[in-house]
Chains A and B, each alone.
Chain A
Amino acid sequence: MDIAVKNAGGAQAQAAPRYPLSLRINGQPYELEVESWVTLLDLLREHLHLTGSKKGCDQGQCGACTVLVDGRRINACLSLALMQQGREVVTIEGLAEGARLHPLQRAFVAHDALQCGYCTPGQICSALGLMNEGQARCRDDLRELMSGNVCRCGAYPQIVDAVEEVMFGSAGAEERDRPVIVGMVPA
């Protein structure tokens, strides 16, 4: 950030003002100072190295940056870090409990609900937000209410299967309730 300030300021270069920011991310309290223009996504990725949230379009069109703020899903790219003062942010890194994956994560693995995986953190956070909202009653609703998340590999049917299983339940879910070893690529 310092380099950017020097370049932008020219001969009049001076440190850009930073603003205090306190918030919780994945249960951890943070006391930070950030420039006004830092988006929540850039705060997560570039400042805190929580790179699970992805920068796809940076325009709110792809949903790869979806995170939860106070339990609600938002596009982290279209929100300033400073707008999250005092809030609780949850990213994909905050869903598992140790080696035990979140039920949505397990369902995505079980249903092969991904190919390249780039959109997956946003898809899973969006699905969690969708569950918190409690408005979906059927697969049609799931498709409509997941439309803010693009998957260019085209795993949409499997994504709906995975979300449907966790939201509405279906046989066999418990059998897949097993620890996944990080680094293993599911067949």
Chain B
Amino acid sequence: MTPFAYHLARDPADALAALTAPGGNIPLGAASFLAGGTNILDLMKENVARPMRLVDLNQLALARIEETPAGGLLLGALARNADTAYHPLVRSRYPLLSAAILAGASPQIRNMASNGGNLLQRTRCYYFYDTGTPCNKRSPGSGCTALGGLTRLHAILGASEHCIATHPSDMCVALAALEAVVHLRSARGERQLAFADFHRLPGDTPQHDNTMAADELITHIELPPARHAAHSAYLKLRDRASYSFALVSVAAALALDEGGRIASARLALGGVAHKPWRQPEAEAVLQGKPAEPAHFAAAAAVLLAGARGEGVNDFKIPMARRAIVRALEVAAAGTPGPACREEER
């Protein structure tokens, strides 16, 4: 790691001030926040990130999970991924979020990683991590080595000629489907961002993963009142049974009326784009329809419209189509419990 200064923040205002002061000569963007550390420290060891100062957020009172007056949940940015996934209210009202978090990383990392940090994790593109190769995300203007390279983890939707990286989070796929709201704070005040507007597509500025300003801090992630707890599924397809990034993942959530017709549908994909991939038009296809595979396939076709592989990752297009149908079938049958294959003890 390149040497850096360390500042233990007392409160959010102190954390925000420490992005540039004290010491004076730290330009905005040269300091980074430190929460769980699981991604930033890894990137620092690889020399991909070289902050001049780390501002440790771990003493901030932002680790609570509490109900909102509207009937939703407010997830503290510093609540750990494991505590969020296993929280009784998350499990009962948002089993999709619980399942998505538990599909990601390892138990050790979930114990460390914060909710805010999960949103801010960088891509796992091999070339982004390899400082010996050009990468527009790591070094803007240098080129993209993934184009024409190994693209097993790379995008089939929303990519650009400058970047075909994917966002690696599982949690964020569920948060997109659940229409979470990100609460941000800066010295200028507080604001809220719809989850769909938080992450962005690469375009010609792939160095920016999201639309946060450099002087902002995530304080909370708000979940609106739950509608889909009884019919949701997170399906993750990967190269190993566990502890591997998604080739394709699907967050599917349905609300069914008394007649079994779809009153509300949510669909988001992971592993396929620079952000969790969601298209309201695909969900509209399911509105008012019976929960049947033919309609699921029609929704998949809309969600995957315009999908394009890079050769190596062409397989992800039919894989995603089938995964969407499968996830919707599972959701329609009822949210799967955390069942063991063998007899329970």
Task: State the A residues within 8 Å of B (CB).
Answer: 8, 16-17, 19, 35-37, 39, 58-60, 63, 66, 72-75, 78-80, 82-83, 85, 126, 129-130, 133, 135, 137-141, 143-145, 147-149, 168
Judge whether B58 and A83 touch: CB under 8 Å. Answer: yes
Ranked 7 nearest A-B pairs via Cβ? A148-B106, A138-B340, A147-B242, A36-B6, A37-B1, A147-B243, A148-B108
Residue of A nearest to B243 (CB): A147
Judge whether A63 and B108 touch: CB under 8 Å. Answer: yes
Judge whether B340 and A137 touch: CB under 8 Å. Answer: yes
**Chain A contacts of B345 at CB under 8 A?**
137-138, 168
Residue of B nearest to A147 (CB): B242
Judge whether B344 and A138 touch: CB under 8 Å. Answer: yes
Known contacts A138-B345, A141-B340, A147-B243; A126/B108 CB under 8 A: yes
Known contacts A78-B38, A80-B34, A147-B243; A138/B108 CB under 8 A: no
Query: What is the CA–CA distance of A74 and B111 in the complex, to the nearest angstrom?
Result: 6
Known contacts A137-B345, A141-B340, A147-B242; A60/B111 CB under 8 A: no
Judge whether B86 and A135 touch: CB under 8 Å. Answer: yes
**Chain A contacts of B241 at CB under 8 A?**
144, 147
Query: What is the CA–CA distance of A113 and B287 in the complex, to the nearest angstrom?
Result: 53
Query: What is the CA–CA distance of A143 and B1 in the complex, to the nearest angstrom?
Result: 33
Judge whether A72 and B86 touch: CB under 8 Å. Answer: no
Judge whether B5 and A17 touch: CB under 8 Å. Answer: yes
B222 at the interface (CB under 8 A from A): no
Residue from the set A74, A133, A140 with the largest chain B CB neighbour count within 10 Å: A74
**Chain B contacts of A36 at CB under 8 A?**
3-6, 54
Query: What is the CA–CA distance of A126 and B214 in the complex, to the nearest angstrom?
Result: 37
Query: What is the CA–CA distance of A78 and B6 in the complex, to the nearest angstrom?
Result: 16
Judge whether B340 and A37 touch: CB under 8 Å. Answer: no
Known contacts A19-B6, A36-B5, A37-B3; A140/B42 CB under 8 A: no
Query: What is the CA–CA distance of A129 and B110 in the complex, to the nearest angstrom?
Result: 12
Residues B127-178 near A (CB distance < 8 A): none
Given A36-B54, A63-B106, A147-B241, 7 additional A-B pairs, CB 8 A:
A8-B3, A75-B108, A78-B37, A79-B112, A83-B34, A138-B343, A138-B344
Could you give 19 example pairs across A and B, Cβ below 8 Å? A36-B54, A75-B109, A82-B56, A83-B56, A126-B107, A129-B107, A129-B108, A129-B111, A130-B107, A133-B82, A133-B107, A140-B342, A143-B242, A145-B107, A147-B106, A147-B242, A148-B106, A148-B108, A148-B243
Judge whether B42 and A78 touch: CB under 8 Å. Answer: yes
Judge whether A148 and B109 touch: CB under 8 Å. Answer: yes
Judge whether B37 and A83 touch: CB under 8 Å. Answer: yes
**Chain B contacts of A16 at CB under 8 A?**
3
Q: Which of A58, A60, A80, A133 contacts B109 (CB 8 A)?
A: A60
Minimal beta-carbon separation of B46 from chain A (angstroms): 8
Minimal beta-carbon separation of A83 from chain B (angstroms): 6
**Chain A contacts of B341 at CB under 8 A?**
138, 140
B45 at the interface (CB under 8 A from A): yes
Query: What is the CA–CA distance of A143 and B342 in the complex, to the nearest angstrom?
Result: 13
Residues B54-111 near A (CB distance < 8 A): 54, 56, 58, 82, 86, 105-109, 111
